[in-house]
Amino acid sequence: DAKTTQPNSMESNEEEPVHLPCNHSTISGTDYIHWYRQLPSQGPEYVIHGLTSNVNNRMASLAIAEDRKSSTLILHRATLRDAAVYYCILRDGNSGNTPLVFGKGTRLSVIA
Amino acid sequence: DTGVSQDPRHKITKRGQNVTFRCDPISEHNRLYWYRQTLGQGPEFLTYFQNEAQLEKSRLLSDRFSAERPKGSFSTLEIQRTEQGDSAMYLCASSLGALNFYGYTFGSGTRLTVV
């Protein structure tokens, strides 16, 4: 799977929007972009995924650049419960047998 | 369904002892994954099953590690002759299938400390 690059850490104020960037310049045409997050003392949880178009769900929005070499996870109003490590992962849509490969992710701190 | 369950949540063992962890996936999920996570790192893939068949094993899974999923339901991960380097969080996840629209559901993990 192609590699992703994320900042090690970010900080946000409570109730403000958060934009978490992810660079994936070597993404292939069949790679899906997945985001998971891991709250303290928990296993990772699925957040959102997409291929080309922007995606919205109840947790977040995913904005994908037109050239697909970068994407941004958007939390519209950060709460203290959003403090977690956020992982951006690429997964080849043609290879269902490839398990998710996690990097170090971005540690998001939310300040009250 | 209460999600993916892992037991025990914490395990402290002496070096050289054997330990076994259990994972109960979401009942209709046919895929089950084991990951290991050390402090400050993302989860590292160990192995996965489709139903009862073990389809892939990582190089991280030394011969001291063995995983089973009898009858395609719960799974066990056994570590023989534990070493201090085995201290980590062991995470289990399940998914309904292999395709991209099937997200993984993770358990809360088993934290192993080898003293």
* Mean per-residue pLDDT, A72-79: 96
Q: Does B60 touch chain A (CB under 8 A)?
A: no
Quote the distance between the C-alpha of residue B32 and its chain's center: 8
pLDDT of residue B100: 60
Given A44, A93, A103, which is nearest B100 (Cβ)? A93
Task: State the CB neighbour count (10 A cutoff) for residue B7.
Answer: 13
The residue ranking higher by pLDDT, B98 or A35, is A35
Is A71 within 8 Å of A64 (Cβ atoms)?
A: yes
Contacts A–B by Cβ distance under 8 A:
59
Over 90: is that where the pLDDT of A39 sits?
Answer: yes
Over 70: is that where the pLDDT of A3 sits?
Answer: yes
Q: Tell me the pLDDT band of B98, cut-offs 50, 70 and 90.
A: low
pLDDT of residue A2: 61
B56:A97 CB<8 A: yes
The CA-to-CA distance between both ends of chain A, in Å, stands at 37
- Strands (E) in A5-94, as ranges, are 9-13, 18-23, 31-38, 45-50, 55-56, 61-64, 70-75, 84-92
B42:A97 CB<8 A: no
Is B90 within 8 Å of B38 (Cβ atoms)?
A: no
Q: How far apart, in whole angstroms, are the C-alpha atoms of residue B113 and residue B115?
A: 6
A103:B56 CB<8 A: no
